[in-house]
Amino acid sequence: MNISEVLKSIENTDIASSIRDSLFLFPMLESVHVMGLALVFGTIAIIDLRLLGLASTHRPFRSMTSDILKWTWMAFTITFLTGALMFTTNATVYFHNPVFQAKMAVLLLAGINMGIFELTSGRTRRQWDTSASTPVAAKTAAVISLVLWISVIFLGRWIGFTTTRTSPKEEAAPSELNLDDLFPGAADDSTTPNKK
């Protein structure tokens, strides 16, 4: 079975077709995906800002990670599952979409960055646990992490604008409308809103 057959069979699963056939399942998956990624990004930013010495500097680093990262992983699980379900609805298009590919690559880089931190400055965290200043390697990891996670948000939003077949319902409703319909007799220069 080659990759295009695998993608086709993902699209043909019952779960994929029931999401496609439902009016509100896809928008709901998107909404829960945004909730999840909002908390993933926000909680990771709390840790990164601590590493950079910009916030929570009075708080021991290790009590922050044990306090916060469990919520990050919970939110990440929700985001991953909702993302996977959205992927099934149009697997072939997503798989070949360069923005989707870039997003997956950036997520992988974020994971590698985390791994490198754990193996380097993370190992000495006992020494700087209560200190506001952290090793340069830890600060570097924090900057990279923030840049990568913000990129994930941008790329994710861009996927919706580059995979038109995915969610034909999205942005569909207002497309038949324009301002002239709302305010008949107003300006005659066309002010039809951009679809996207």
Partner 1 sequence: MIPTIQSIHIAGIGIVLTSVFMMDLRILGLAGKDQTLRQTTQRFGPWLMWSLVALLVTGVLMVIGEPVRELVTVSFWLKMFLVAVGTLVAAIFLRALRNNEQGWEDRITKRFSIKLMAILTFLVWLAVVVLGRLIAYDHIWGAWSPAHRL
CB 132 within 8 A of CB 57: yes
For 114-175, give the DSSP string.
Answer: HHHHHHTGGGGHHHHTT-S---HHHHHHHHHHHHHHHHHHHHHHHHHHH-TTT-TTTTTGGG
Q: Which is nearer to partner 1, 10 or 46 (CB)?
A: 46
Contact segment (CB under 8 A) with partner 1 among 77-85, 89-97, 118-126, 157-165 equals 157-165
Convert residues 134-153 into a mask of x (bound to partner 1 by CB under 8 A) and - (unbound): ----------------x--x
Determine which residue in the list 8, 96, 157, 165 makes contact with partner 1, applying CB under 8 A.
157
Tell how many helices (H) and how many strands (E) occur in the chain: 9, 0
Q: Let me know the angle formed at the C-alpha of 95 by 90 and 97, rounded to the nearest 5 degrees.
A: 95
Determine which residue in the list 13, 17, 31, 133 makes contact with partner 1, applying CB under 8 A.
31
Which residues sit at the interface with partner 1, rule CB under 8 A?
23-24, 27-28, 30-31, 34-35, 37-43, 45-46, 55-56, 58-60, 63, 67-68, 71, 150, 153-154, 156-158, 161, 169-174, 177-179, 181-182, 193-194, 196
